[in-house]
Chain A
Amino acid sequence: MGKKKDVASLKGDIEITEHTLPLDDLCRQLRTCPLKGLSHAWAKVMSEKEGPNRLTPPKTTPQWVIFIRNVFSYFGILLWIGAILCFIAYAIQASSSETASKDNLWLGLVLTIVVLITGIFSFYQESKSSAIMESFKDLVPQYARVIREGQRLTLKAEEVTIGDLVEVQLGDRIPADIRIVEAKSFKVDNSSLTGESEAQSRGPDCTNENPLETKNLAFFSTNAVEGTAKGIVIRIGDNTVMGRIAGLVSGLDSGETPIAKEIAHFIHIITVVAFGLALALLAAAIALRYHWLDGVIFFIGIIVAWVPEGLLATVTVCLTLTAKRMAKKNCLVKNLEAVETLGSTSAICSDKTGTLTQNRMTVSHLWVEGGIVDAKLNDDCTSVGVAGYNKRDGYQKLVRIAALCSTAEFKGGQDSSVPVMKRDVAGDASEAAILKFVELAEGSAAKIRERFPKICEIPFNSSDKFQLSIHANNMTDKGCHLLVMKGAPERILERCSTIMTNQGEVAMNDKALDAFHDAYLELGSLGERVLGFCDLPLPSCDYPIGYNFNSEEPNFPLTELRFVGLISMLDPPRPTVPDAVAKCRSAGVRVIMVTGDHPITAKAIAKSVGIISPENETIEDIANRLGVPLSEVSPESASAAVVHGGELKELSETELDNVLRNYSEIVFARTSPQQKLQIVEALQKQGAIVAVTGDGVNDSPALKKADIGVAMGITGSDVSKQAADMILLDDNFSTIVAGVEEGRLIFDNLKKSIAYTLTSKIPEVSPFLFFILFDIPLALGSVTILCIDLGTDMVPAISLAYEKSESDIMLRSPRDPKRDRLVNERLISVAYGQVGMIQAVAGFFVYFIIMAENGFLPQDLYGIRPRWESRAVNDLEDSYGQEWTYVARKKLEYTCHTAFFVAIVIVQWADVIICKTRRLSLWDQGMGNWVLNFGLVFETAVAAFLSYTPGMDVALRMQPLKFVWWLPPLPFAVLIMLYDEVRRWLIRRQPGGWVEMETYY
C-alpha cells in the first residue's frame, strides 16, 4: 500500500519552489551562505538527517529466486510432477524386479532436461531485461567540489548534502539539484533528462515558475558543457528530479505482456485438461482393478502425452525469428514478448521531433519582394529551386544577408562529396538550416563571406532578439561597408524604414506592412520558425575603410534599415511517415502525438503527416472558419483536438478520459514527461494497448508503463533504452509501423503453429486411452511421443513462423485482447475435435494393419492386454493359432509404435500444410514457404532415421518398418487436406456463417 502511494506521488509534476525564493530567504532556510557554504558541523547534521546523496537501488529479487520461478513456471510444474512420478515408478520397479525396464528412468530424465532447458531459456530472457537500474548508476557523478566554511573541498558525490555550496565547471556532472548563485557563460546539457539536445545557458535569475524551464536550476547528473557556476544544493539523492524518475521507473509495474497473458491462458487450459484427464484415468484404472503402480504409470503417460513439451521452445524460437527480422528493419527488440505486443497495439503515442520529423531544421519558405517562395529541395538533394526568383534583386540581397549574418560554419574535415544536407554544422539549428540553404542555392556561402569580410558583430541576445554584423564590401565602391541583421521578424521590421518590393526599395507603407503581416501569419500557421532579414549599405563617407566599429557601444545605425525578406524553417516530416500514419489508420491503430513543442508547430506537423487528417477540424479551426468565438463551438462538432500541456494539467481523470474518447485525432503539445505517463495510463484504462516513444530519461516512466516502450537508438538516453522494450535504430516512426505488421503476422502464425502442435496430441493420447479402456496392446509409447513432440514436430511448427500473411493484415483492426485469444475454443475444436481425430484414426489404421498382417486381427486384440503384458505367458495365441513369446510380441508392439509414429509424421504433413492458412485456399496461399517445405523433408528424414538406424531398437525401441507400412496413413493425409480445404471454402463462401463461427480460429 505504502509503495503504491509513493509511486502515485512520484507521478505528479515536480514540485520545486526553491528557485522562486529570494536567495537570502533560501540561504536562511538552509542555513547556508552563498559565499562560504555550510559550516562543517551543520553539514554533518544535514548529512545525517538527509542521508547520502545517491540513488537507492530498488529491492531486487535474488537471481536464484527468479531462476526457480522460471524453472517451476508454465508447464514446468506439470513436467516436474511427471518426472518425479517417473523416478518413483522406476524406483519401485527396480526394487521389485531385477529386469525392470529403464523406460521410466529415461523418461524422467528427458522430462527433467526439457523443463530445465526451457526454464533456463526464459530465465536468460528475463535477466537480460532487468538492467534498468544499472543504467542509472552510470549517470551519477563520482566527485564534487564543495565549499564549506569558505574552504574548497573535493568530496565524494555521496557526501554532498542539502545547503552545500558546490562549484561546477565544463565537463562536470552536476552532483545534485542546485540553484545557481553565480555563473560565467554557464551552459548545461539536459539531454539525459529531457532529451533536448541543445545546450542551455544557466544563470542566477529565476525566469520561469516551471523548475524545468527556469534558468537558475541545474539538475543532478546532467552535464555542464560550458563555463563555470556555483550553486546551492536544494535536493539530493532520491529526491532529485533524476532520483524521482529512477524511483518511478523502478516502482512502476509494466504488467504482463499480452502474449504472456495468452500463453498463461493457454497453459491454464492445457494443465487443467491434462490433470483432469489424468486423474479421471487414474480413477478409472483403479476402478478397473489395475495395480496402483500401473495407475501411476498411466497417469504419467497421459501427462507426457498431453503436455506439448516442445511448444514453449517453439513459441520462443518463433518470437526470436521475428525479432531478428525486425532487427533487420532497424527495430531492435529487447524483450521477446514485445514482438507480439507491437502487433496488438491499438494506440501509439509518438514523439514529434526526430521520430515523425527528421530532426533537421530546413529552410522551407522565403518571403521576398512581397511573394512567398517555396524553397524546394530538388530530388537529388543537391540544389534548391526557388521558382524563378533567383535573378531578383531582393532574393539576391536576402541570400547575401543569410550568408553573412551567421556564425555557423561547416565543420572541417568533411569531404565535398558529402551531400550538403548531411554535412555537420557548428552552430545552432536555424543557422545551420540557413547555411545549408545558401550553400545549395548559391553554391558556396564561403565565397560570399570572402567577398564581404566580417568586421564587427553583435551576437544574438534574448532581450534584443537580433543578431548583427558589419562587413567590408570589396565589390562596389559605392559603400565600403554593409550592415546585415537578422532576428525575430517583428523586431527587425521595427528597425526598418524601407522595404524591398518588386518595384525595388520603397519606403515602408501600409500596403507593404499588410503584406508582411499576412506572410508572417501564414508562415507561422504552418508551424514554421520565421526569421526577418534586413541590411543597410553604410555610406563610405560616414564610415570609411578602417572605421572603428564598436559593438559594445554601437557607433553605427541600428534603425532606419532596409527590410529585405523573411526566411522560414521547419523540421520537415520524414518522407515515409505520412504513409506509415495512413497505414496505422487503416490498421485501426490510433496515432497520438505527444510533444513538448508549440501547439502550432505540433499541429502543422500533425496535419502534414496525417495524424490530423485533412477533413478533420479542431474546435479552433471551426471557430476560425465560422468566425465565432471558441466558446460558441460545441466540442462534439470537432473530431480532432490539440491539447496544451497547461490545459492537460487542469483536466481531471474523467475529463482526460473524455478527451481521449471524444476526439479521434489528438495532439498533445507542450506536455511534460509526467503528463506522458498520465496519457499512457488513461489510454490503458480504456483497454488500449499502448506503444510509446521516448528518448529522455524523463520519458522512461512512460516507456516502462506502456505496453511497449519504444526508445530512440540515435538520440535516446541509455536509461530510456533500458526502460524500453524496443529500440528504433533509425528513430523513424515508420519503423514502428513495420514492427506492428510483423507483430500481427507472428500472432497469426503462432496460432497456426499452436494449432499444428496441438493436433498431434489426440493421436498421442488415444493409444493410452484405448490401452486402458479396451485392453488392447499399447499403440504408441511415451518415448515415441517425446520423439514427436521434441523431434519431428519442432521444425514444421517453427517453419510456420515464416508463413506469409494471408491477406493485408494492416487493413484490419488490432485484435481485441479479450476476445481474440491466441488459443480459443475454435482452435481447440478444429485441432482436437476434427483434424486430431482423423490423425488418431490414421494411426490406429496402421496399427491394426501391422497387427493383422502379423497375425492379430483387430477383434482378437480386445481384452488381450493382461496376457500380452505378462512375461509369464510365453505362448500367447494369435488369430491364426500361432503362439507368440513375450519378446516376439513386444517386438511386434514396438513395430506398431514405430508405425504409429510414422503415421503421425505423415498426417502431420497434411496438418502443417493446412495450418499454413486459416481462410485462404491452399491454392492461393501457395507452397512458397521453403522453410516449411524443408520441415516436411526434415521430419520425414528424422522418422526414417529413427526407424532404420541400427541400435534404435535398443535406444528408443524403434523398429525398422516395411516400406508398405508407410503408405496406409496417406489416404488419411489426403482426407485431412480435402476436409480442411472444404472447411475453408465454406468460411470464405459464407462470411460470418456457422462454419466460420465454429471453426475459424
Chain B
Amino acid sequence: MSDKKGNNDGGFMKFLYNSDTGEVLGRTGMSWLKIIVFYIIFYAGLAAFFGLMLYIFYQTLDINKPKYQLGDSLIGSNPGVGFRPQPDQDKNVDSTLIWFKRGDRDDFKFWSEQLKSYVEEARKTAGKNCDFGADKASDKEACQVIVDEKKFGNCTVATDFGYKDGSPCVLIKLNRIYGWKPEPFGPARFSEAEFKKAIDDKANSDAKFPKILKTAIEKKLQEVNTEAAKEDVAKSVWINCDGENPADRENMGKISYAPMQAIQSFYFPFMKQPNYVSPFIMVQFESVTRGVLINIECKAYAKNIFPDRASRTGSVHFELMVE
C-alpha cells in the first residue's frame, strides 16, 4: 500500500525514469526488450501473412489485361476525354486553366513544350500504318499515331503550336479503356444510308448535337471511297469543342481541327499493345479574344458515348486565357 503511494508521489518525472526500480516509462529494460521483441516478431509474422495472401492474389492477376473490363470494371464503358497541355500538376492540380502571354516564349514555353514532348513521344513509338478502310489495330500491335506535320497545319513544333501567335492548339484525346471500341450511330450492321439517317435523326432529335458536326461527318463520308472506309469513318469518335456559355462562344472565335474532327476508328480498341500512344487531334483556337477567360467544353460523339457535363464522361472542360 505504502509502496504504491511512493510510486504515485513521484509523478510524471518518476514515470519517465524511476531510479528505484530502473523503470523507464513504467517498464524495466528487460521488460521493454521483451515487449519490443514480441511486437517485432508479431508484426513480421503479420507482414509475412499479408505478403503470402497478396502473393496468392497476384497469381489470379494477368499483368497484361485487367481482371475486370468495360462494364464489369468500375471504369465503365463510357470514356472521358482528356486535354493537353495541363496546368502544373505539382502546384496547381485542381486547375484546368491554360493561361499564357502570347509572344513571350518564357511564358508560353511551359504549354507548348508539353505538346511538343507529347508529339515527340508519339513520333518515337512505332506501329502499323493504318488508314480508313485499311489496316486496324490488333490485339498485339497498335497503329502509329499520325504525326505527319503537314496534316497538323499550324499545330506543329515549328509554330510553337500557335502559342507564339496567340492562337493556341489544344490536344484532345479519348480516355483509354481496355477493350473499348466506338460504335457508329445507326444499326450495328453498317450501311451508309442508315448511318446518314441516324445522324440526321440525332441532329434533329438531340438539340445538343452540334449541326456543324453533322456537316463535317457528311463531308468526310464523301471524301472516302470504299464501303469499308466509310464504315471506319462512321465508327470514328467525332469531337466538337465549343464555348460553354454564349459569351464564351463569342470570345472563342473560330476554331479548326487537325488532322480531322474525329479520332479515327482504326486506333481502337486499346488492348495494352506495346508502345500504345493515345490517338489525338488538335483543336486550334484561331482568333481568341484576349484577356478574357473562356470556358470551353469538348465533347466526344459516338453511339456508345454519353457526354455528361457533371460526371465529365464523354466530355472535358478547360479554360483558356490569352494575354
Partner-B contacts on A (CB < 8 A): 687, 818, 833-834, 837-838, 841, 844-845, 848-849, 852-855, 858, 866-867, 869-875, 877-878, 880-888, 891-892, 895, 968, 971-972, 975, 994, 998
Contact = CB atoms under 8 A, between A and B. Distances in A.
A838 B46 contact: yes
Given A883-B82, A883-B177, A888 B93 contact: no
Interface string B221-246: 00000000000000000000000000
B290 interface: no
Nearest to B96: A872
Contacts of B90: 866
B70 to A, nearest CB: 10
Contacts of B93: 866-867, 869-870, 872-873
Given A849-B57, A855-B75, A883-B82, A871 B276 contact: no
B163 to A, nearest CB: 20
Nearest to A887: B311
B176 A888 contact: no
A867 B270 CA distance: 23
A865 to B, nearest CB: 10
29 contacts: A833-B39, A833-B42, A841-B46, A841-B49, A844-B50, A845-B50, A845-B54, A848-B57, A849-B57, A853-B66, A854-B74, A870-B94, A872-B87, A872-B93, A872-B94, A874-B312, A875-B80, A875-B173, A880-B65, A881-B272, A881-B276, A882-B75, A882-B178, A884-B80, A886-B312, A887-B312, A888-B80, A895-B74, A998-B38
Interface of B: 1, 4, 34-35, 38-39, 42-43, 46, 49-50, 53-54, 57, 61, 65-68, 73-76, 79-83, 86-87, 89-90, 93-96, 173, 175-178, 270, 272, 276, 278, 310-313, 316-317
A836 to B, nearest CB: 11
A655 B302 CA distance: 99
B175 A882 contact: yes
Contact of A875 (B73, B76, B175): B175
A869 B67 CA distance: 24
B94 A891 contact: no
Contacts of A852: 57, 61, 67
Nearest to B35: A998
Contacts of A871: 94, 312
Contacts of B80: 874-875, 883-885, 888
A845 B177 contact: no
Contact of B34 (A874, A875, A994): A994
A834 B45 CA distance: 11
Given A867-B89, A875-B173, A881 B270 contact: yes
Nearest to A845: B53
B184 to A, nearest CB: 23
A874 B66 contact: no
A994 B82 CA distance: 61
Contact of A874 (B38, B81, B178): B81
Contacts of B54: 845, 848, 858
A834 B39 CA distance: 8
B178 A854 contact: no
Contact of A891 (B74, B178, B316): B74
Contacts of B317: 874
A853 B68 contact: yes
Nearest to B308: A887
Contacts of B276: 881
Contacts of B68: 853-854
B53 to A, nearest CB: 6
Given A849-B57, A867-B93, A883-B80, A854 B176 contact: no
Contacts of A870: 93-94
A638 B86 CA distance: 94
Contact of A885 (B86, B89, B175): B175
Contacts of B87: 872
Contacts of A853: 61, 66-68, 73
Nearest to A840: B46
The 6 closest A-B pairs by CB, nearest first: A875-B82, A885-B80, A883-B175, A887-B311, A853-B67, A892-B74
A888 B74 contact: yes
B55 to A, nearest CB: 12
Contacts of B57: 845, 848-849, 852, 968
Contacts of A874: 80-83, 175, 312, 316-317
Contact of B175 (A884, A891, A895, A972): A884
Contact of A880 (B34, B272, B310): B272
Interface centre among A849, A874, A878 (most CB of B within 10 A): A874
Contact of A882 (B34, B177, B310): B177
B4 A818 contact: yes
A628 to B, nearest CB: 36
A870 B312 CA distance: 13
Given A874-B175, A888-B80, A880 B66 contact: yes
Contacts of A687: 1
Contact of A881 (B76, B176, B310): B176
Contacts of A872: 86-87, 93-96
Contacts of B96: 872
Contacts of B39: 833
B50 A883 contact: no
A823 to B, nearest CB: 16
A945 to B, nearest CB: 21
Contacts of A837: 42-43, 46
B181 to A, nearest CB: 14
B145 to A, nearest CB: 14
A428 to B, nearest CB: 50
Nearest to B4: A818
B66 A882 contact: yes
B101 to A, nearest CB: 22
Nearest to B87: A872
A961 B54 CA distance: 20
A878 B53 CA distance: 22
Nearest to A873: B93
Given A867-B89, A873-B89, 8 more contacts: A849-B57, A858-B54, A872-B96, A874-B83, A874-B175, A875-B82, A875-B175, A888-B75
A884 B75 contact: yes
A114 to B, nearest CB: 32
A883 B38 contact: no
Given A854-B68, A874-B316, A888-B76, A880 B178 contact: yes
Contact of A855 (B73, B82, B175, B316): B73
A885 B311 contact: yes
Contacts of A895: 74
A520 to B, nearest CB: 48
B73 A854 contact: yes
Contacts of B86: 872-873
Contacts of A848: 54, 57
Contacts of B89: 866-867, 873
Nearest to A850: B74
B52 to A, nearest CB: 9
Contacts of B316: 874
B162 to A, nearest CB: 22
A881 B177 CA distance: 8
Contacts of A838: 46
A971 B73 contact: no
A853 B72 CA distance: 10
Nearest to B74: A892
A99 to B, nearest CB: 8
Nearest to A856: B66
A854 B66 contact: yes
A449 B67 CA distance: 103
B27 to A, nearest CB: 10
Nearest to A891: B74
Nearest to B58: A852
A855 B175 CA distance: 14
Contacts of B42: 833-834, 837
A895 B176 CA distance: 21
A895 B75 CA distance: 12
